[in-house]
Structure 1
Amino acid sequence: MTTYAWLSFILITMVQAGSPGPSTVFLVNNSIKYGPLKSIGVLTGDVFAILIMGLISSLGMAAFFANQPAMFNALKLAGAAYLIYLGIVAFNKSMMTTGNVRSDKPDPKAPNLWKQWTQSFLIGISNPKALVYFAALLPQFETSGTPDLYFFAFLVILSALIKFSVLSCYAVVATKIASKITSPSAGIIGSKVVGVFFVFFGSALGLSTIH
């Protein structure tokens, strides 16, 4: 991959990971109530779920499209179109429903960490769209013409690390950003930012596949 491709992948992943959503609200809630360290530990449940779904998606693509470059290119075009669709949907989304974040001080009597970790995992694994998202995104950065399982697995792991890093930053500064990141205006702005980036990069990736 070129430097531009790497930067594009990292930027897309950061924007997607940083946009307000259920995982973000759950993390901010935990960080405010139980402190950033415990919330980051619980966050690994969500990241682990995303890692599993990404690897499943990668394995399916590698197995089905092996030695079929024409069909793989068709998948890349379909994936680029899906990214554009996600961008349009996000841009047109006027509001994002988020939970109420409590402004309590860290609670020393936090609930069972395993229970919290399981809840975090279920939030991540309960979104089957992640499978489609990885299937749409990963092929855009494969230049050999056929799917490479090891390369896809590396991108999935990198995606998980980026999400963990971005949300960990949220956890550390949760008390300062809680009201901003869960407000209706944050949902509107976040949706527009995600929309613009996805439409732009989806279009660019689709054109690069055609040429």
Structure 2
Amino acid sequence: MKLEIWLAFIAVTLFISATPGPNMLLMLSHGTRYGWRATLATMAGALCGLALLFTLSAFGLAAILAASATLFLILKLVGAAYLVYLGVQCWRAGESLSLPQAKSDTAWSRYRTGLTVALSNPKAILFAGAFLPQFISPSLPQGQQWLVLLSTFFVIEGMWQVAYAAGGHQLANWLRHPGRIRIFNRSCGSAFFAVGGALALARR
């Protein structure tokens, strides 16, 4: 892979990964509630979910989603519903940093939450199918280029997830006042509602 293409990919990916979305919002929320070390399980789930979506894209699901309006609609509505559910959980937490019916206190449960949130966004499949190939040169070995791009993407994505979780952990010190916790919970709930609504209204 040419150096200038790889550097351009890094610059674009740094910006895209840093943009708040379902995964980063979840890392901020879990980092605040459980600490950044406990949130590593959430990150592992989210990264595994992205890896699965990228694999599905490689097998042609991106083209299927791009062609099938019905399938895309079903997947995005299911994903939006799950994000809204997370928003309801945050909203109901009130003045506690523990979520109602919180099963996220185990690493396995946090992993499942991260995995589910990552899989809830079918646009990630279209992202993998439309964005990544733009940096692939057809005249060079394909496998090596994909390895470089995917390795770079997951390193950058992981770094931003750690940054969001660490930011949430620092925010926890400010949230020791019950009134501030309520504001935080409702802000997270509203953010999940907004992201879920944006996903529901998103076009391919």
Give the TM-score range, shorter chain: 0.5 to 0.7
Matching residue within 99, 109, 112 for 1:115? 109
Per the normalisation by structure 2, the TM-score is: 0.59
1:59: how far off? Answer: 4.3
- CA offsets, 1:142-168, max 9 Å, x none? 223488244224422321221011110
1:131: how far off? Answer: 1.3
Conserved? CA contact 1:32–1:104, under 8 Å: no
1:105: how far off? Answer: 7.0
Query: What corresponds to 1:157 in structure 2?
Result: 151
1:20: how far off? Answer: 0.9
1:38 aligns with 2:69: no
Equivalent AA in structure 1 for residue 116 of structure 2? L
1:30: how far off? Answer: 0.9
Query: What corresponds to 1:148 in structure 2?
Result: 142
Query: After the TM superposition, which residues 121-132 of structure 1 pair with which residues of structure 2 at under 5 Å, given as runs?
Result: 121-132=115-126
Structure 2, unmatched stretches of 5+, are: 64-83, 173-183, 195-204
Equivalent AA in structure 1 for residue 48 of structure 2? F
Between Structure 1 and Structure 2, how many residues are aligned? 149
Query: What corresponds to 1:169 in structure 2?
Result: 163
Distance change >3 Å, CA 173–CA 106, structure 1 → 2: farther
- CA offsets, 1:44-64, max 9 Å, x none? 100111112113323449xx9
Matching residue within 129, 132, 141 for 1:135? 129
Q: CA RMSD in A?
A: 3.6
Sequence identity percentage: 23
SS in 1 for 2:38: helix
Equivalent AA in structure 2 for residue 123 of structure 1? V
Query: What corresponds to 1:54 in structure 2?
Result: 54
Give distance in 2, aligned partners of 1:130 and 1:60: 13
Give distance in 2, aligned partners of 1:148 and 1:56: 17
Give distance in 2, aligned partners of 1:35 and 1:140: 37
